[in-house]
Amino acid sequence: MLESMVSPYLTSGRMRILYRHVAVEVETSGDTITSVHLQGPEHRVEVRARYVLDATELGDVLAVGDVEHVTGFESRAETGEPSAPDEAQPSNMQAFSWVFAIEYREGRTTRSSGRPTTTSGVRTSPTTGRGRCSG
């Protein structure tokens, strides 16, 4: 499903997916990652971007770059969040989740039920209330 959604971007050259590559070096400016060097089965490639989102399960890119980051749950005292635990739990990792819209199509935004939504580009599950991209 995801491949069919991103296919137009792949064929137009606006997006490239590098399978079987791992981060081996990270360049930074302070705590900002400016590029990531990836090693693949046949070659090494450098990726430069204005914004780097580490979507690895355990923050692998952040660790390679030795940039300041926190893993797991921070304590209530550190964040001020009422639902945070009393004690920090650095090994308690939550799976990666990041909602993003790939494309907005005028007039194509619908709920799972087929009824139009009031939120542009995002539809909400009637059972969970969580948003997801429509296409």
What is the model's pLDDT at position 11? 95
27: left (phi over 0), alpha (psi -120 to 50) or beta: beta
Is residue 127 over pLDDT 60?
Answer: no
Residue 43 binned pLDDT confidence (cut-offs 50, 70, 90): very high
Report d(CA 24, CA 5) in Å as an integer.
29
The mean pLDDT of 28-48, rounded to a whole number, is 93
pLDDT, average across residues 11-30: 92
**Largest alpha-carbon pair distance within the chain?**
50
Q: Give the pLDDT of residue 124.
A: 41
Instruction: Check pLDDT > 80 for residue 114.
Output: no
Phi, psi for 76 (deg, rounded to 5): -60, -40
Sign of CA dihedral 41, 45, 47, 52: positive
pTM above threshold 0.75: no
By mean pLDDT, which of 20-24, 27-31, 36-40, 106-110 is the weakest? 106-110
* pLDDT surpasses 70 at 104: yes
Q: Where are the beta strands (DSSP E) in the chain?
A: 22-29, 32-39, 44-48, 122-124, 131-133
Q: pLDDT above 90 covers what percent of the chain?
A: 39
Q: Are 47 and 36 in contact (CB under 8 A)?
A: yes
Is 126 in contact with 112 (CB distance < 8 Å)? Answer: yes
Averaged confidence pLDDT in the chain: 80
Whether residue 13 is predicted with pLDDT greater than 90 in this model: the reply is yes
How many other C-beta atoms are found inside a 10 Å radius of the C-beta of residue 135? 15
Confidence of residue 123 (pLDDT cuts 50, 70, 90): very low
